[in-house]
Amino acid sequence: QSVLTQPPSVSGAPGQRVTISCTGSSSNIGAGYDVHWYQQLPGTAPKLLIYGNSNRPSGVPDRFSGSKSGTSASLAITGLQAEDEADYYCQSYDSSLSGLYVFGTGTKVTVL
């Protein structure tokens, strides 16, 4: 029952581009709060992928990019690779009583 909704799954062939949406509302993304993205490989802890809507931490390939518009945000992966198969979560701040620092529902990326 997260306030940030993501598609359960997306898939693509190696080399393709996939996008993951994160849909919020006027109390979180729409209120101007930043969106951050995490990658969780199977059996491991989440890893910060994008912070402040579109910034990549050192070491994250430029194949990963983030954007935000209105009440939604998106993560794009270009040149999809087998190692990108993982769960991806968006995260933001929510000013209602829904949890303050909220995570999205999560998206499983499958490389075909």
Q: Give the binding site for other proteins (CB under 8 A).
A: 2, 34, 36, 38, 44-48, 51-52, 57, 89, 91, 93, 97-106
- Provide, rounded to whole angstroms, the least separation between the CB of residue 13 and other proteins: 26
Instruction: For the CB of residue 14, give the shortest distance to other proteins in the complex, in Å.
Output: 27
Could you say which DSSP state residue 45 is in? -
Of residues 17, 27, 109, 23, the one with CA closest to residue 73: 23
| Distance between CA atoms of residues 47 and 20, nearest Å | 17
Q: CB-wise, 10 or 103, nearer to other proteins?
A: 103
